[in-house]
Amino acid sequence: MLVEPTAPLEERLALIAPIEERLALILALIAPIEAPIEARLALIAPLEERLALIAPSEERLALIEERLALIAEFVNENEDAFSDPLSKAQEADIKSNPIWYNKYDTSGMKHFKKSKIYSDYTQLLPKITEQKSCSSSHERQESYLYLLNNRRLIALGGDPLTPEKEGGLSLAFIFENIHNSGLSSKTPRFFHCNDNGRVMSNVFKRVWRIVNKYDY
């Protein structure tokens, strides 16, 4: 959150000056989202020009508070877009592993049911074949790699790049919170987009297998 709602107005004003630095910070933190950032920022800009015209009146001060609330709402709505990029070494380790780019064999695979309790979630994983999947599949997978360093995910579920036994993201969390997320009322959206085609959740499952050395 950008500012506490109970903070004095003077403190709130101090947080938005100089405005160029604040807007630059927002731009630097925001990862790709569905709506163009220019359209989003158009709702709060040009704040510098508006602040220059503001007189010390209740009406003017209320306008500032409204703008500050808009910025805070914008950040909260796109919380899952705040991710640190993977290092080149981390990305190379993932992409060089056959588990990342080989096809699944789903024959005989058990399907996850939200209403069922599982003692072993690995029984829900398909087998990895020795056949490479197509390049378009790789591209779709890679488009979600930035979510591996998602701050909200790491806070709630653990680091996907740390083994589960060491406190990293668990396979249970992936199935219970990311798999099919956003596609029904039983599986609310975890990130800013739905798990269409289970591409997003499969990225986490593949990375989980790599990190936990589960290559069955």
pLDDT at 173: 96
Most confident of 41-45, 91-95, 147-151, 183-187: 91-95
The 3-state DSSP class for residue 127 equals strand
Q: Which residue has the higher pLDDT, 17 or 181?
A: 181
3-state helix, strand, coil in the chain (%, to 5): 55, 5, 40
User: For residues 179 and 188, what is the distance between their CA atoms, to the nearest angstrom?
Assistant: 10
Confidence of residue 2 (pLDDT cuts 50, 70, 90): low
- Residue 205: name the closest of 98, 126, 89, 88 by CA: 126
- Percentage of residues of the chain with pLDDT beyond 90: 40
| Range in 12-16, 87-91, 99-103, 173-177 the model is least confident about | 12-16
pLDDT tier at 196, thresholds 50, 70, 90 = confident
Is the pLDDT confidence value at 127 over 90?
yes
Given a cut of 80, whether residue 59 has pLDDT beyond it is no
pLDDT band at 78 (very low <50, low <70, confident <90, very high): low
Query: Quick check: 146 pLDDT over 80?
Result: yes
Q: With cut-offs at 50, 70 and 90, classify the pLDDT of residue 46.
A: low
128 phi and psi angles, rounded to 5 deg? -95, 130
Using the predicted structure, report yes or no on whether residue 213 has a pLDDT greater than 70. Answer: yes
Report the candidate in 215, 95, 213 with the shortest Cα–Cα distance to residue 164: 213
Residue 43 in this model has a pLDDT that exceeds 80 = no
Q: Is the pLDDT of residue 150 over 80?
A: yes
At 1 the pLDDT is 43
Counted residue by residue, the chain has a size of 216
Closest CA to 102 of 135, 78, 69, 128: 128
pLDDT attached to residue 27: 52
Regarding predicted confidence, which is higher, 8 or 47? 8
* Nearest to 145, CA basis, from 104, 88, 105: 88
